[in-house]
Chains A and B, each alone.
Chain A
Amino acid sequence: DTGVSQDPRHKITKRGQNVTFRCDPISEHNRLYWYRQTLGQGPEFLTYFQNEAQLEKSRLLSDRFSAERPKGSFSTLEIQRTEQGDSAMYLCASSLPGTAYFLTQYFGPGTRLTVL
């Protein structure tokens, strides 16, 4: 399967713990995005990478969140000192280089985070 993969698929943690998620984009996709989706809502943009450079971060991404994409391949999203409000589905997407007019973003299956 050559689609976007995410690991783990589910994560249950206690409030105050740190968690890390991984995203492997489709090969040759140089753009990578993280979104967060809470129940009954559409996904909300968190951050964006072009190759290894993190070019934009949403105001939703508090200081407890950090994302990396070393070597422009896979990406990790870490949440420190988790809070119950962090419970959500974390979605990763990737897209090819090129102009935005015709670029489809391909989404992974998501990581469901539950903070107790």
Chain B
Amino acid sequence: KQEVTQIPAALSVPEGENLVLNCSFTDSAIYNLQWFRQDPGKGLTSLLLIQSSQREQTSGRLNASLDKSSGRSTLYIAASQPGDSATYLCAVCSSGAGSYQLTFGKGTKLSVIP
């Protein structure tokens, strides 16, 4: 059974800092790994998707890396802004599950202090 862990559970940084969020998963048989953002009481917004054959993906100030063999991914946020404050969720799509269901971590709650 796939399990996803995110560290840290919460993170508070001053505006302008670069930061890294970590995600680990137990089964390396995956189609892809996705990072989402969730604002309080809201749905999920997709940030980046990394296919299992890829090492990283970039979108603006966000860069996500994937090391499938070690079961790890990181989300790097450059020059953080108060608007980046949200919960960031990592999810893997396991290749053993025919439904392409996502298995999520519990998230990292990010607070960027002005």
> Which residues of A approach B to under 8 Å, CB–CB?
4, 6, 31, 33, 35, 40-45, 48, 55-56, 58, 91, 93, 95, 99-110, 112
Give the A-binding residues of B (Cβ under 8 A).
4, 31-32, 34, 36, 41-46, 49, 51-53, 89, 91, 93, 95, 97-107
A-chain residues with CB within 8 Å of residue B49 when the two chains form the complex: 102-104
Number of A-B contacts (CB under 8 A): 77
In the bound complex, CA of A40 to CA of B73 (Å): 21
Contact between A91 and B43, CB atoms less than 8 A apart: yes
The reply to whether A100 and B100 form a contact with Cβ atoms under 8 Å apart is yes
Are B46's CB and A101's CB within 8 A? no
**Residue pair B53, A101 in contact (C-beta under 8 Å):** yes
* A101-B51 contact given A33-B101, A42-B89, CB 8 Å threshold: yes
Judge whether A45 and B103 touch: CB under 8 Å.
yes
Judge whether B100 and A48 touch: CB under 8 Å. Answer: yes
27 A-B pairs with CB atoms under 8 Å apart are A6-B43, A33-B99, A33-B102, A40-B106, A41-B106, A42-B89, A43-B91, A45-B101, A48-B99, A48-B101, A55-B99, A56-B97, A56-B99, A58-B101, A91-B44, A93-B44, A95-B100, A101-B51, A103-B31, A103-B49, A104-B34, A104-B46, A105-B46, A107-B43, A107-B45, A109-B42, A110-B42
